[in-house]
Structures are given as C-alpha cells and as structure tokens.
A and B are shown apart, each in its own frame.
Chain A
Amino acid sequence: MSNPTFERPEHSIAMWGAPGSGKTTMLAALSLALIERDGPWKLVGADANATSVLLEKSAALDRQEFPLATIDIEKFRWLLVGSSPQQDRRFGGWRGRSRDTRAPKIGLNMIDPPGQVYAGGAAQHASLLQSLEESRGIIYLFDPTQEYIAGDAFDYLHGALLQLASQMLAKENETSGRLPHYLAVCITKFDDLRVLKTATKLNVLTQDPSDPHEFPTVEDADAPTLFRELCEISARGSARRVLNALERFFHKDRLKFFVTSSIGFYLKPGTAVFDPRDFQNMVRLSPEAGRDQDSEKGAQYRIRGQARPINVCEPVIWLAERLLAERQEARSGR
C-alpha cells in the first residue's frame, strides 16, 4: 500500500485531430506552459528516456521550430507532479477525502498518432483503436484555420469514432449508450488572426486582469459559443457535424471546451503588453530565406518570437484530475 510507485495511477490520454491540427506542437508546448503557469502542477518524464524526449521537444519549440510531421504513433510516458496538499488547497476536490500529505503524481501516457490514422484504413488504425479503448481521456483538436480552408475535420473524426463506438458500445455491460471518455475539445491556433477576429466579432474576448501582458483570452464558458460560430464558417459546412457527433457519442458532462494556442501571441522585444496591431507569432519563411537550400517547393513556417502557450495545460490538467477522481470514486465505491 505504501509503495509510492504502486500508488501512482496511470492514465492514457490520446490526442485526436486531423493532420496538422496541432497535436504534436501542443505536446511540445505542454512542459513549457506548465513552467510558466502559476499552479501546483509540474510535468516530468516518467523515466530517463521520457525526460530526454520532453526536453528535446520543448528545446525545439524554444528554438522557434515547429515539430516534424508525425509518421508513426508515438507514446510519451510523463508524470504530472503536484505540490503537497498542505501547501495548496485550491485543488483540494479529490484530495480532501484522504489525509494523505504526499504530493500527488499522475502518470500520463500521452499518445500522439499521425492524423491520417483517424481517417480510417491507415496502417496503424487497429493499434490506434486499441489505444483509444484503453485511454479514458481524449484531447480533441479542432483547427479552425484548416477547417476554414478544407473543412475536413469531420473526415478525421467520423470514421474512427464510429469504429470506436461500435467496439465499445456493443459490449454487454455497456448500458449508457455513450463512450466513457472525458473529452477536452480544444480549438487550436487561437493566435491566428482569423480565429481571433471571429472571437472579437462574437464578443467573447476578455482579459485576465492578473496577466501582465494583457493578452486576450476566451473563457472556457464561452468556448462552446466560439466553437459553434467557427463551425458556421467551415468550408464544407461539415464542422457542425463534428459538434453533433461529439455530443452524441460522449457524455455531455464529460465534454469541456478550451480555446488554445501552442505558440501564443507575439510580443515585440522590449515591450510588455499585447499589441493588437502586431501579434502574429507564426511566420512564413520565403523559400529564398529558408536555411534549407533544398526547400524550393512549399513554404516553411517558424515561430517568430518566444512561444507563449495559451490554455495548453488546462485541458491536460482537467483530464488528469477528472480521471483521478473517477478512479478514486471507483475505489471507494468498491
């Protein structure tokens, strides 16, 4: 009982989203974000290997590079480490029950597949479905900029969702008719001009008074509104189906919306506050300017200044806390 390694529950969280929706970048931004964020949680690798991968990922982002396109399903064994409950009572919910004063640790197996596997028929589809069945947390990434151009988000949701549902809901003991997962729906690339504009138009932009940089934000409560609006401007109009599908297949009280950006807004060196006329943090390298002589075709993108992730840890922490609470309920219910 007292063996801490046995006490540490492990949860799998799968990243779900079309290719290019920002899954890998979000994972890379996570540890950076946790360091900057004022809160009890830290992210560390569960072993030496995982730590070196974690370092590698955040270092690349610090070098203002986006990650390479994912080719095979990658799994990262990370650990969310909190501070001990005596020092911090804000996250007391589930800890209040026991008088345990050790720092909570939540093992996270983050699963980062290449987006195409969600379209079905791809090579690692079977192994992905198994991972999804084992995971109880999903981070679903919806990239409004891509949706605006191609409108293909639904294509990367529908197939895999149906297969997952048919695998899990067909089971005898399944009675609720919904998938058991917690789902953090993340609108990504909030830093993008088009997304920010939509939010402005909808009047959902606010500002955290405690934020010295005065960055605009969207409160979680308004995120569904923004999501709905972004669905409206989808290229093929299929995004509304995304929302419908999510609400039909998952429990409503296990869905939560977040407006996120892995790279955040640009701050001109020497200035301290958000400049509404110059905030784009993603830059396109013209082929001539590319360091890579070979890259004659196609643009390449870089991060313009420092990456300042927005709302990147919140979905993960929300999931981790929900999963932990669920497990403890299950245990005390027994």
Chain B
Amino acid sequence: MSDPTPESSEPGAVARPARVRLHVEWAVEGKVPGSSGGYGLLACSRGGLTRKSFTDIRNRYVTGTPKELPQITIGWAGGREHTRLLLIIRRWSDQTDQFGRKIAATHYFSVPYGQLEEQRVSYEGLYHALDDADLVFDEAAPERGDPLKIDVPVLDPADLAGRVDDVAAGVAATLLSEAQVCLVGGESLTPLERLRFLDVVAALLPYGMRSRLSASTWTSGTADHDIRLSFTSTVPAAAHQVAWGSEVAVPQDGQAYYEKLVEYRDHLPEVVTLLAADLELRGFTPEARRAALVRLSRFGVTPQDPADEGQVAVFHAPAAIEGALRVCGDHLESGDLTWLTRSMGYLEMVIADREGEFGPEEQAAYREIVQARRLLAGSAELHGDLRDSLRGVVLRIAYGPVLTREGLAHIAAQLEKMPIDLLSALTRLETPDPYVRLYLAGRLGGPRLPELVRRLGVDDLVRAAAEKPYDRYVVETALDELDQRGRRDQDGNLAAALQEHGHLTEAIAFAYPRGERRVRRLRELLVAAYGPRPDRMAFAKIVPLSLQPEEALLLAAAAGLFGPDWGEAFLSASVLPALRDARYSGKDVDRIRRDLRIDRDVPVATDEPAEVPHLRDRSVPSSPSPRREVPLNELPVAGTRRRSSKNPRSLELWFWVLILFGVLTMVATLLVFFRTLSDTASGMGPNGDGREPVATDIVTTGPAIGEVRSAGGPER
C-alpha cells in the first residue's frame, strides 16, 4: 500500500527527507453560504468516509463552538484492519450565513493506518501536506469527490526528540492513566505550535497508541467532549489540568513511565525511534498501558543483538525480583515514595512479562520478604492510589494469580486487622477455593457478597463451612447462603450435603458461642434442608442413631409407658442434662429449655396449669409464635393430661426413668462435640476468632426464629 520514495529516486534533487505517498479520503463540513440551515456534510470523497461514517466521526470529535480558528484535531476511526488516523482542520471560510454569522469550514482527512506500515509520519507532516490540498468534487455529485494522493515526509525521530521537554514527557506519561488532559495557559501559542507539541507528546508513546488517541489544539469547556488531550481555557470538572510551562503532576498510573522517560533523556532519539517502530494497534486500556511501559522499559535492556538475549532472563530472574521487593520495603520504611514507585514500575513490568505466573518456590521466597519488610502491613499509611498499586503488585507477585488458603493464611498472619481495601484487592486475584472466597465475602459483606458467593454450589458451601480451621465468617456466610438456597430450591441437595458433613454441627458450635443460638441456627439450617414439616424418616437422617435391638426394645417400652409425652421426657431428662454435662451453663440450658418450651429439664411435678404444646407444634416454623397457634380451649385439656401423667410419682417410675437415662447417654454423646469446640478452637488469624462486636450485638438483639421466618429471610 505505502510506497516510500527515498531521495535516491530523484536524481539530482537536493537532499530532501524521505517521503511516503499516502492515499487520503476526505470530507467537508460547513454551511451553504447565505442559507438559514445549520452545519452539515457538504462533500466527501469516494471510499470509506461516507455520510454514515462521517456522522459517527462527527459525534466523536465534538470540540465545541470555536472562538479562534484555525483549529486542528487529531483522532482515529475504525478498528483493526480498518483503523484510520484522522486529521481535522477547521478554518473560517470567507462566507456568512443568512444571519450574517461567519461560516466555519471543517476538513476531515482519513489516512488508512496500514499505509504507515513501512514508514511513519508525524501529525505535523500530515497537516502541512493536507492543509492546502485541493479537494475536488463535482457539484452534481458532491459525495463522490476524488481521494487525495499526497507525499508526506517520514517521521524524523531526531527532530521530535529535540523538542521533548518536561511538560511533553509529563503529559505523555499522564496519558497512560485514566485522565483526560487539558492544557491551560497556552493561549499565546499558534495552532501550529500547539500541534507540534501534540506531535511530540504522541512521539513519546508507542506509535500504535495513535489508533486510539484524540487530541486538539483547542476545546471548549462547555461542550461535552471526549478529546483525550487538548488546549483549552476552561477545564471540565473531571479533567486533569496541566498548566503550560509548569511542572506536570503525573498521576500514579503514569509515574513509572515518566521515570523511564526521565531516565532515558540522553537517548531520546533512540527512544522515539523505538516507540515509532511499535505499530501494534494499542488503545489506552490498562493492559495496553502496561504494555507501553514494558515496551519503553525494554529500551537499553532488550538486546538489539540476539546473541545476548540472556540479559532479559537476568533482568527477570527471581533474585532481581527479590531485590526489587526488598528495595520497595526500604523505600516504604524511609518514606521515599518516588523511588518506591520506580521499583513498583519494574515489578509491574515483570508481572506483565511473566503474565502473572510465578513458581511456588519462587513465591515462597517472595512471601518471606513481603512479611519481613512489612510490604502489606506497612502500606496502610500510604495514600489511596499508591497503597492500592503497591498491594496490587505485591499480591500478584507473591500470592497470585490464584489465591490459595495457604496464601491467605500467610497474609492474615502478617496483619492485626484485615482492612476492607486489602480484602477488595484480594478479590481481584482468582479465588476458585470456596473457603477462600467465603472468607473474603463474609468480611467484605455488602454489595460484593452476592457476586462472590453466587457461583458456589451447595456442596462447595457445606464443604467450605466444615473445613478447618473454622472461620466464623466462612461458616456464617455459608450458612446464610445455604439457608437461602435450601428454601429456594428445596431439591434435597442441601440435606444430602449436610448429612455428609454431620450437619455442620461442629462448625456451628464454633461460630456461635452461645448455646441457645447454636440450637436455633442449627434448627434454621434443618428447616432449610428438610422443609418446615419434614417427614418422619428425615429424623433418622438428621440424628442417625444406630440402636441395638435391646435398646430399641427398651425405648419402645419406655415410650409406651410415657405415652404422647415421651418425647418431651426424653428431651428434658436426657438431652438437656447431656448439654449440661457438655459444660453448657445453667443459663444456656435454661434458654434452650425455654426455646423448646419445656418447663423443667427434669421431670418435676408442677401445680400451675402448664401450657405445653406438643412437639409437633414446635416444628411449625411459619407461625410467629407457636403458642398462639394452640387453640385456647385446648389448654386446660393439655394441662389436665399433663398433671395426671405426672401425679403417680412412684419409685417404680423413677427406676424406669433412670434406665432410660442410661440408654440415652449414648444419644447425648452426639452432642458432646459442643464441649470440645465451644470456645477453644482457633481460627485463621486474629479475625478468625475475634468476632467484631457489631455482629455480636446483632446476634443478641436478633429476632426470634418465628419472626425471622415470617419476615421471609434468615437472620442478619
């Protein structure tokens, strides 16, 4: 496509710079003189710059109603193989409209990027070649004009490098952040001088970035424009302001690039040459920006001679990375932020080059350094941007790309508290392990939580909750999610998963230090898994007793003896004492007893009319208060029956009770785990077992189970 015409092809000519021939499409925007209509497309050349694509371009290059012309805007259009560089020149015409207002004529030029493969050109070169080009079209067919053929001098790195100053370097580096850059105070510069400055800035970036770079010699502060870099007198609120001639405050993201430019300032012609050779289409995405840094950093490091390619390997050797981490620690300690960002820039580059992959032994060494030099712990004092970048780099090098439980434990061990922003940074690593994910989700809470746990299956959740060392947040988050899933899906998956993991009783005992909370939480989980009215067989799945035939016989006989009240007797005489034995405090047992609505945990006769619903009633979770569900006229009956069953307090009865008691101690052993786990188990890191007071408060003031259910959601 391109056909460079080097000077040698013109014998006898004076030494002229090499030129490249380009085919350029064009369009003209303006008004019909003397008309009352508005601005619009007046003419364009045959080819890709049609009325339709012109509309898109026009939309993107809004710069505002001009005060002073000419104005030159550079930009781009299309993508991939259709990428074009644009040059837009707006001048006053000598005409006016019907209202006597001057008409501006705007010429749009479009250069296919592919034509620059052999030789690059500068924006200024394009401008000179295009500004006085004759745009030829037929009045009868204004949209079928002739495309232009122009000869443009090839980009001259030495010339551009010679014009680089600190502002240009600062602005170029600033473009490697998210900032929209507005230059103020350049009023005394002519449009051409401004364009020449934009050219120098562009020359300090890889050439391929021009495929997404927009810049203008003037923009209006009152137009909603997206021009990335422009001279202006009014700066939009969100833009990054740079005062002409004064120092540029390069944002954090561009710091490393800026440092490199400064470092190479004695070799700028070579640097500009290197960057101009980088034709790969790049935008300004974070990856592209990182790649630009890598590209620049290669200068002087990348051997031009393939023979000593080993240099690159040395450059990225573990020893070098360890060194850089240590240096980061030193700067962090001394508070030398400039140098800190330099070292971080290097590490960023290493990450990009290695695509975030580091071996386990390598990482073990990095982790040691991170811990010893307090790179995570000590970063808390840095300001937001810098802290985030440092953490991002450290985490990716020493703990990424997949955050494992070991990694997580290692991080937790370095910190007294896990700050929210660190947690968020951790979620940016990959977290396939459900435990890790719940660990982060539970602590982050809020809107991030659903997104983190959504992908986890019921199995994953149960397994993670059962995993040791127990972690309160993991357990609670898993339980909350399981509650919801169980109620929603009711497909038996939750029940099956729970049976495999002992119904998470140990984990629940760990996460809920208070006895009666434990029972309630466990019961909520059972409701989620088996429904509010499970069938009788479910009982055996929940409490898988394997009775010996004799024991079963005895139990049957005893149950017959106690009649409908045998279950209550079993609870009060066997289960509650077992809990008491398991070091539940009297108060705790009392609460559980009240929760189960048993008057006493030992069978003691009472004279007051009792108000005791049957077990069946208790399992009705949808009622806000099961008591109220019992019809009033039933109460005296229940009371009467109860009294009558307890009145014959014979020695014989006590005998049988004791026998039964003995048999059922076995049952009680099921609950003994409470003892071992109640308050001694240790979690992961300080936050693992130190519950935040806020959460405790919520627990103590939480609504009753019935209320919770009627409110349609789990607690918290």
Contact = CB atoms under 8 A, between A and B. Distances in A.
A115 B38 contact: yes
Nearest to B234: A49
A116 B37 contact: yes
Nearest to B98: A20
A140 B275 CA distance: 53
A298 B38 contact: no
B51 to A, nearest CB: 9
Contacts of B378: none
A311 B100 CA distance: 24
Given A298-B96, A301-B100, A68 B38 contact: no
Given A53-B221, A127-B59, A298-B34, A69 B103 contact: yes
A47 interface: yes
- Describe A's contact surface by its main secondary structure: loop
A75 interface: yes
Interface string A48-85: 01101100000000000010111111111000000000
B54 to A, nearest CB: 8
Interface string B25-37: 0000001011011
Contacts of A75: 222-224
Nearest to B51: A121
Contact of B38 (A52, A116, A149, A284): A116
A317 interface: no
B101 A66 contact: yes
B65 interface: yes
Given A53-B234, A73-B224, A74-B65, A122 B100 contact: no
Contact of B97 (A47, A69, A124, A294): A69
Contacts of A47: 237
Nearest to A299: B100
B97 A71 contact: no
A72 B92 CA distance: 16
Given A53-B222, A294-B92, A72 B62 contact: yes
Contacts of B269: none
A150 B31 CA distance: 16
Interface in A123-144: 123-124, 126-127
Contacts of A285: 100
B55 interface: yes
Contacts of B38: 19, 69, 114-117, 119, 122
A211 interface: no
A126 to B, nearest CB: 8
A76 B222 contact: yes
B55 A123 contact: yes
A80 to B, nearest CB: 18
Interface string B313-350: 00000000000000000000000000000000000000
Interface residues of B, number: 40
B65 to A, nearest CB: 5
B356 interface: no
B40 interface: yes
A73 B62 contact: yes
A122 B95 CA distance: 22
A116 B40 CA distance: 8
A72 B99 contact: no
A24 B99 CA distance: 13
A116 B37 CA distance: 7
B220 interface: yes
B567 interface: no
Interface string A14-28: 000011100000000
A122 B40 contact: yes
Contacts of B237: 47, 49
Interface in B198-241: 220-225, 233-237
A6 B40 CA distance: 41
Interface in A67-120: 68-76, 114-117, 119
Interface in B54-108: 55, 58-59, 62-67, 92, 94-104
Contacts of A119: 37-38
Chain A's interface size range is 35 or more
A297 interface: yes
Contact of A123 (B31, B58, B235, B236): B58
B65 A72 contact: yes
Contacts of A149: 36
B243 to A, nearest CB: 15
Contacts, number: 118
Nearest to B67: A68
A203 interface: no
A73 B237 CA distance: 17
A146 B100 contact: no
Nearest to B40: A116
Given A71-B64, A116-B38, A124-B59, A295 B94 contact: yes
A90 B65 CA distance: 39
A124 B97 CA distance: 21
B656 interface: no
A300 interface: yes
Contact of A71 (B66, B96, B99, B234): B66
Contacts of A123: 55, 58-59
A36 interface: no
A284 B92 CA distance: 20
Nearest to A52: B234
Contacts of A122: 38, 40
Contacts of B233: 52
A114 B39 contact: yes
- Of B66, B222, B225, B235, which is in contact with the most chain A CB atoms at under 10 Å from its CB? B222
B92 A150 contact: no
Nearest to A123: B58
A152 interface: yes
Contacts of A38: none
A123 B220 CA distance: 18
A124 B234 CA distance: 22
Contacts of A127: 59, 224
A296 interface: yes
Contact of A20 (B36, B102, B225, B236): B36
Nearest to B106: A71
B36 A297 contact: no
Given A123-B55, A123-B59, A74 B64 contact: yes
A121 to B, nearest CB: 8
Given A20-B36, A71-B66, A72-B64, A294 B94 contact: yes
B523 to A, nearest CB: 41
Contacts of A296: 94
Interface string B161-200: 0000000000000000000000000000000000000000
B223 A73 contact: yes
Contact of B100 (A18, A19, A124, A284): A284
A152 B36 contact: yes
B101 A72 contact: no
A71 B224 contact: no
Contacts of B66: 68, 71
Closest 10 CB pairs of A and B: A116-B38, A298-B96, A123-B58, A301-B100, A69-B101, A19-B38, A300-B100, A20-B99, A49-B234, A294-B94
19 contacts: A20-B97, A49-B235, A68-B66, A69-B39, A69-B97, A69-B104, A75-B222, A75-B224, A114-B65, A122-B40, A124-B58, A150-B36, A152-B36, A294-B94, A295-B94, A297-B34, A297-B94, A298-B96, A299-B100
Given A69-B104, A150-B36, 16 more contacts: A20-B36, A49-B221, A49-B236, A52-B234, A66-B100, A69-B99, A72-B220, A73-B223, A74-B65, A114-B65, A124-B62, A285-B100, A294-B94, A295-B102, A300-B102, A301-B100
